[in-house]
Amino acid sequence: MTDLQSLWQRLQQKQQALNGVHMRDQYAADPTRFARYSLQAGELFLDYSKNRIDDETLALLCQLAEASGVAEKRDAMFAGEEINHTEGRAVLHTALRAAPDACVECEGNNVIPQVQAELQRLEHFVTAVRAGSIRGATGELITDVVNIGIGGSDLGPAMVSEALRPYRGNGPNLHFVSNVDPVQMSDTLAELKPQNTLFIIVSKTFATQETMANAALAQDWLLVAFGSRDQMLQHCVAVTSNAQAAGDHGFAQDRTFLFWDWVGGRYSLWSSVGLSIALSVGMGNFRKLLEGAREMDEHFRSAPFSHNMPVLLAVLGVWYRNVWGAGTHAVLPYSQRLSRLPAYLQQLDMESNGKCVKMDGSAVESATGPVIWGEPGTNGQHAFYQLLHQGTDMVPCDILFALEGDTAHVAEHRMLLANAIAQGEALMCGKTDEQLQAELAASSLESESLELLQAHRRFPGNKPSNALVFQSLSPKALGSLIALYEHKVFCQGVIWGINSFDQWGVELGKQLAKGVLEKLNEGAVVGEPASLQDWVLSAR
Ligand SMILES: O=P(O)(O)OC[C@H]1O[C@H](O)[C@H](O)[C@@H](O)[C@@H]1O
């Protein structure tokens, strides 16, 4: 038996032993549990004491990460090795936030000078637009910016710019159009004036159907307003790793911001893809976001696994996914400003680790990435928490909150905090039969109904959750938080032996859609419909 097999076996045994143990009792028996199972890394604090674990479990999980080669793979990633072997690429989003004097080599070249040069270009542009020295074609100020992109070219900027809304200052209003459903673009344009609007067309490939279609709609709208292609182009910039394609679409070099093929789409918000973020909150805040991520990178590279936040989150996730059989993981930000975080993490996690084939092409032997879902608390409490508390599935949760909120609403923010803390406690402790009996005894119900009610109102508890806490939702804390999840997903991918950096699973639908579109355009129907496609053709 290999080391890994024996570790999995010991973890299974551990699960059987812990299955009958209540976290409530573990907590009561060990007053140091919270202190021992919590950790600060930069601006982030993690409480992982409300997990179905003990010291031995944690030691085994850390050994699993070690035996799976997490440290070696991590070092290979940071060193620019070609770890995305199915696309023949390095994975260097960490270079985008590395110190300006760092040296990170990719195929023998230090990439940091080009990263810094592109940041400089971004800075010039952002500063000029915000200061009003770059204006629209008719000399008017740019008051609104529309980010046109999808997936990684949308979710990161959309999530971050919403999270950092209080840092906008005199920055322009931001709008995001991603869906090929034209109503999203028309609803957006209805609020805007061409002379004050800048469109950022973001696409790594500069070939994505949805983005190209939306860019064409935006450009038509500008052309109608200005009647001149040159003026139309003054209201557009491109962000891409395919400079050639942007050039073919008429974008001049000084209106094209670049990133590189070693930046995966879902890891790209740190690059020029973050242009809309920088325009909104200013370059200083964008650099703080990078700084926060860099701080987490350094922690991930240097902390021992037992005190390494991304590693701990990763192994706890693996513990529930593979040993306890949890199929989903909920992300519950107690922060309205983090309302897009679950959607962002869906792409980061599910596009990275939703794989059934290992690096060597063989089938995986265990489950891989869980379904990620969630909504901001407290909204979720009034919608789906019923299932978290009394449903039949175990749903591990991440509960996120900032200690400080809006200074004008201290009392209201305290309510938010109270709910976040209470939910973690309720999930863990549940309600004992004694507590329930005492509650019901005080009611005037008859004893028959009491028994029935007791069954329905029982809270088993023992439901795992992590709490991720930061002082305030600052650019730096947010940068650390996103990098934390990136590295968590990375570690899990290594443990599962999969390539977290490709996304072949999204290709088939795209290919088929092209063929279906051709048929829809032709409009030909022959005989009885034998498929949905035929039926749609005949029904239109
Ligand atoms: O940036 P683009 O090349 O337009 O790609 C946008 C998105 O489309 C793809 O289908 C991928 O699944 C995503 O990973 C990517 O972020």
**What would the 3-class secondary structure string for 91-144 be?**
CCHHHHHCCCCCCCEECCEECHHHHHHHHHHHHHHHHHHHHCCCCCCCCCCCCE
Position 523 scores a pLDDT of 82
**156 burial class (0-12, 13-18, 19+ CB within 10 angstroms)?**
buried
DSSP string, 490-513: HHHHHHHT--TT--GGGHHHHHHH
Q: Please check whether residue 320 is in contact with residue 364, taking contact to mean a CB–CB distance below 8 angstroms.
A: no
Cα(67) to ligand 1 centroid in Å equals: 33
- Report the pLDDT value the prediction gives residue 451, as an integer from 0 to 100: 82
Ligand 1 atom, smallest distance to 149 CA: 4
- The pLDDT value given to residue 214: 98
**Which H or E element spans position 4?**
helix 3-19
pLDDT digits (tens, 9 = 90+) for 485-527: 999 999 999 999 999 999 999 999 999 999 999 988 988 776 7
Model pTM above 0.95: yes
Determine the residue of 153, 241, 249 to mutate for testing ligand 1's pocket, defined as the one with the most ligand atoms within 8 A of the Cβ atom. 153
Q: Kindly list the protein residues whose Cβ atom lies closer than 6 A to any atom of ligand 1.
A: 150-153, 203-205, 208, 211, 265-266, 351, 503, 506
> Which pairs with CB-CB distance under 8 Å and at least 24 residues apart come from 243-252?
245/205, 245/206, 245/207, 246/206, 249/206, 249/215
Question: Cα(441)–Cα(463) distance, rounded to whole angstroms?
Answer: 27
**Cα 260 to middle of ligand 1, angstroms:** 14
Structure tokens at 474: 């600052």
Specify the pLDDT at position 526.
65
Residues of the chain with pLDDT under 70: 526
Segment 492-501, tens digit of pLDDT: 999 999 999 9
**Contact indicator for 469, 45 with CB cutoff of 8 Å:** yes
Measured CA to CA, the distance from residue 476 to residue 472 in angstroms comes to 10
CA–centroid distance, 267 to ligand 1, in Å, is 11
Residues involved in catalysis: 351, 382, 510
Residue 207 alpha carbon to ligand 1 centre in Å: 9
Q: What is the pLDDT of residue 23?
A: 98
